[in-house]
Amino acid sequence: MKLQTCEMHTGGEPLRIIESGYPDIPGETLLEKRSFVRKNLDHLRKQLMWEPRGHFDMYGALLVKVSRPEADLAVIFMHNEGYSTMCGHACIALARYAVDKGLVKSVTSPETKVTIECPCGLVECFTDLISGHTRFVSVPAFVFQTDVAIHVDGYGELRVDISYGGAFYAILAAKTAGLNVKKSGILELVNLAASITESVKKQVKLYHPESSDLAFLYGTILTDGKDEHSGKPTANVCVFANRQVDRSPCGSGVTARVALQFYKGFLGIGQTLLFESAKTGDIFSGKAVEETRIGDFQAVKVEVGGKGWYTGSATFTLEDEDKLGKGFLL
């Protein structure tokens, strides 16, 4: 086995881009390819995301053949637990990578458009050729339900909002549970967020108008409670998958938060809000750019901006008798 990768990060959140080593992935749609990889090639995810090559919070992107002609590249996202449907920090890094690797159909100045086929749909990215800064417009984002009362073991009744930004998130101001996203310890925040995620999964049935494969709760976002447009950053921590902590402000999470803020009237079309990672301090921009609909839901298209950085490249191998090399987590 030999797997070739390019290593990047966005806002401190790692991205391991898998360039070669996987077999061809069958499937007419990217969701079908994602399903095939999950059922048949999950051992490769464990080798690349888990120790000793990765770690508990590693994140990856598998490049596959596009199934939609308008796309420049197609990607299957992966993490410590499995496979997500959207990843904003990855799209930000992948767009810069695609321009640098000559994967786009045409290069224009000052920005080059990169269309990425994600499991949730097409994501349009625009990368500045000089700075490398990227902004992306994801699939329509919408609010599923607000002020949902759930019982959370150890915390009692909490009320959360559920919003979709390419993936579903439960969103809650941390102070309502007695915590502070900047001052509280990361383990306290993870325990709260993970408990909320599990409670919502048990108590709320999600629905997506395009595919049942998209109808699952990806994680919980704990915020500082600053939702109104003020010109100052609002901080959050996103905990997703199996208690995995996003080091960045979380691109799909920012998308979901903007949709929620727009829905509640805190943010208007064209207004930019800054989103800060409560633990690394990195900043993404987010703004609602266009009202739309998806099924029965009022929705909005959201633009998110940030920058991905290169950290290296790697060739990974597995020796036949290396049992630990197949992947493990502590």
Question: Which string of DSSP letters, residue by residue, matches 257-296?
Answer: HHHHHHHTTSS-TT-EEEEEETTT--EEEEEEEEEEEETT
Closest CA to 174 of 185, 250, 164: 185
Cα separation of 39 and 35, whole Å? 6
Q: Where are the alpha helices (DSSP H) in 115-237?
A: 186-203
Question: Which string of DSSP letters, residue by residue, matches 225-244?
Answer: S--S--SS-EEEEEEETTTE
And the tokens for 229? 């447009």
Contacts of 320 (CB under 8 A, 6+ apart): none
And the tokens for 199? 């409670």
Contacts of 191 (CB under 8 A, 6+ apart): none
Cα separation of 105 and 161, whole Å? 40
Q: Which residues are catalytic?
A: 87
DSSP-derived letter for residue 97 is: H
CA 198: distance to chain centroid? Answer: 19
Contact by Cβ (8 Å): 200, 217:
yes
Kindly give the interhelix angle for 251-263 and 88-100, rounded to the nearest 10 degrees: 130
And the tokens for 323? 């049992």
Q: Tell me the HSE value of 281 on the side-chain side, using a 13 A CA sphere.
A: 1
